[in-house]
Structure 1
Amino acid sequence: MKKALFFVTILMMLYVVALSKGDFTVELEAEDGISTEAEKMYRSNAKNGIAVLIKQGASITLFFTMTGNDVCRMQVGNLHYSNDGEPDELTLTLNKASSNVLGSTRTRGASSNGELWNDFQDTGPVGGYTSITEGLYNLVIEATIADEYGVEVDYVSLQILDCNNSTSVSAVKSGYIRYLECSVCACDPCEKLENYGVGTIVTGTIACCIAIAAICVTIILKCWDRKRGN
């Protein structure tokens, strides 16, 4: 009987310990981030049907928040991407009060006339563990080395370890990834359109002023003629 109680007590203690510390995964979708240099791409094999294309020097900023008075460990467990072309290098940086480069990863180098853009790959863990506490974080994914075609990012998985049950980590959705539309791109047709718009406004303003001046002159001349007639 005593032995049974002893084993039950041990099991209960292990259960309490298991409850007191939790490990879980948080996924940050690339299309939920912010970038003025990236472009959304519709890919049927992406998790939500959308991946984000970034080229040399471009980046995506993803956000997540941690609540609870705790210190947890975090590691980038995986980056889900696609590439059709030369290998690219992605560097991940975590920002809160200061910047912390988590690590870099190299994509697969393979080409199949564009068909591999829908063939998503996993990098596995990127970098080591870092400590996180309560607050808002941003995770920057930058294409530090890329060919002319760039690389597409689907999502990033964060492994959160050694947290209390009262602690939560969740993605913060922003979702401003620029489309290549005329209102936000820098290209010759857009510049011509903008110049045309400015020219139209200026021309219209001048024409309006001339018309008002002509009316005023006509009124003045009529008044002058009436005075001369009197």
Structure 2
Amino acid sequence: MRRLLEPAVNIFLPPLCALTGERLPHRGMSLSETVIRELVEQGERPYCYHCGRTMLEASANLRHACNACNRRKAPPRMLLRLGEFGGSLSQIILRIKFGGRFELAAAVAPVWHQAITHNLDLLGRPPVDALIPVPLHWRRRVQRGFNQAEELALALARLGHWPVIHALTRRRSTSEQARALGALQRRMNMRQAFTTRPRINLRGQHVWLIDDVRTSGATLAGAARALQQLPLRQRPASVNAIVLCVTQPRAD
């Protein structure tokens, strides 16, 4: 009966793109081909594997680092992303984060996964042994009802067949993080913000933090620091990060 009714339902209630309102060819889709093409193009642009900043292909170097990261000798920790904050990516993030549109996490995941695996293959870098979503403080989690980083991690993990480990807790609220005045304040704001869960053991694993947006890098650095402070017999072999997008750098 459902199959018989579906053509009529599609005529009177056609599936529409969550962002553009374009009519979609069939149900089960959330994003139009126009949006998908935009996301694929973002994922194909060369970028710095330390801060995520887009680079000209001609400026790429053996460290795959932008001039700013080269100057400050950025640590070897790797950051992989789909694109920069803006356009369709920003709409997707805002609708997941503030609208609870979890289907958009699943919709963007295939393009995101393709971009991540392409860059991992290109670099021959550490495997993905586990994904660790960056946690919210419990008050923010209760207020929002979910953690967008966790929803994104689960969507990505389903495609990569990667385990998701909730290894961290946020012991201090940092709700003003995005509005902090500068890089120094943001780093100070995240100091000791995270701790590892009891009895967590990541020994020898190459783990990847998952978050929606990288702004200054302070949140990811704080989370990575907590994992790297585990006792040696529980410490991961490496801690890297995967985000959906990065913001443009700001003057500090």
Whose helix proportion is higher, 1 or 2? 2
Name the TM-score, length of structure 2 as normaliser. Answer: 0.27
Indicate the structure (1 or 2) with the bigger Cα radius of gyration: 1
Whose strand proportion is higher, 1 or 2? 1
Name the TM-score, length of structure 1 as normaliser. Answer: 0.29
Question: Higher relative contact order by CA 8 Å / sep ≥ 6: 1 or 2?
Answer: 1
